[in-house]
Amino acid sequence: MAEPNGRVHAPRPASGAGSLRVGRLTKPHGLKGGLKVELFTDNPELRFVPGAEFHLQVPEGSPWFGRTITMRELRWFNESPVAFFAEVADRTAAESIVRAILWIDEQAVAEGEEEDAWYHHQLVGLDVVRDAEEPGGAPVKLGVVAEVQHLPAQDLLVVSTDSGPVLVPFVTAIVPSVDVEAGIVRVTPPAGLFDASEAESDGTDGSAGAAEPRGSEQGDTTEPESGRVSGPSA
Q: Which domain holds residue 101?
A: 20-109
Q: How far apart are CA 228 and CA 45, in angstroms?
A: 12
Q: How far apart are CA 217 and CA 231, in angstroms?
A: 21
203 lies in a domain? yes
Q: Same domain for 85 and 184?
A: no
| 128 within 8 A of 187, measured Cβ to Cβ | yes
98 lies in a domain? yes
- Tell me the one-letter amino acid at 78: N
Q: Same domain for 45 and 63?
A: yes
Torsion of CA 197, 201, 205, 211, to 10 degrees: 30
**Taking the model in full, what pTM does it have?**
0.47
Q: How far apart are CA 171 and CA 117, in angstroms?
A: 13
Q: Same domain for 94 and 121?
A: no
> What pLDDT tens digit does each residue of the chain (234 aa) get?
444 444 555 666 654 544 788 899 999 999 999 999 999 887 788 888 899 999 999 998 999 999 999 999 999 998 899 999 999 999 999 999 999 999 988 765 555 455 566 777 889 999 999 987 777 778 899 999 999 887 767 788 999 999 899 999 988 889 999 998 899 999 998 888 887 655 555 555 444 443 344 443 333 333 444 455 656 655
Q: How far apart are CA 40 and CA 119, in angstroms?
A: 12
189: phi then psi, degrees, rounded to nearest 5 = -70, 145
Q: Same domain for 51 and 32?
A: yes
